[in-house]
Structure 1
């Protein structure tokens, strides 16, 4: 396997597929979070139990206050119901400041040992006055062409 999330191959593939990807969004206290996940076959090895998704997040400040993204919390559930919790400072090495009307976007990725899963989470934000609040990251589905199809 070559490259990482920032490699030209993944970025090119993501740009080509993101237009067809499902979009999930949720607004909390005037902060809109939009997520578009895409399966990345070039980084996946289904026979070895490795399935990889890239996801692009756009955060839009629709509120009246300037905010800073301080921390992130992710909850990842694979197809067998196993839960992984991830906490960390900022996103992609940054703690972006969003003024009213501005946006911040980034792309990251998630590997799973199963062909499908679900992610959700939250961002800890602070205002210039120091008020802290959590912004929901909407639950989004990680789907691959390798998952078993069921008719309901």
Structure 2
């Protein structure tokens, strides 16, 4: 999924991380990959992030801070910036959305860029690899 705001395209992909999850303790870890594409004729700088995180158990939390993964990247016109981060949930499903505070490097004007809402869902496995067949047997007259 993606969203374009003020000439900036934000694309999100999510990945369940079973090796970092503990299902018995209701700890589910997800990774997400964000691609930010600057379609403006000027360079931009990502100053801050603001996330809204919802868990299917009803909990909600906000996370905000400077930059992303420890940096405040500058993105030139026509270029992209990608990063991978993670989110832990207390249930098997949740969603996130948010905003980036960007700055036009030429005139220093600040503007918000929408991070589209995306879901994080644990993939389920079939309990049995063989699906039982249902046979219809005609009743014989007694």
TM tier relative to shorter chain: 0.7 to 0.9
Q: Does 1:138 align with 2:116?
A: yes
SS at match of 1:125: strand
- 4+ residue runs over 4 A deviation: none
The TM-score with structure 1 as length reference comes to 0.79
Structure with bigger gyration radius: 2
In 1, the alpha carbon distance for the partners of 2:40 and 2:114 equals: 15
**5+ long unaligned stretches in structure 1:** 1-23, 147-152
Q: C-alpha offsets along residues 13-70 of structure 1, whole Å, 9 cap, x if unaligned? A: xxxxxxxxxxx10000110000101101100011111000000000000111211000
CA contact (8 A) 2:15 2:32 kept: yes
Count of aligned residue pairs for this structure pair: 123
Contact kept in structure 1, 2:46 and 2:101, CA below 8 Å: yes
CA distance, structure 2, for counterparts of residue 144 and residue 80 of structure 1: 14
Segments of structure 2 that go 5 or more residues without pairing to the other structure are 125-142
1:42 aligns with 2:19: yes
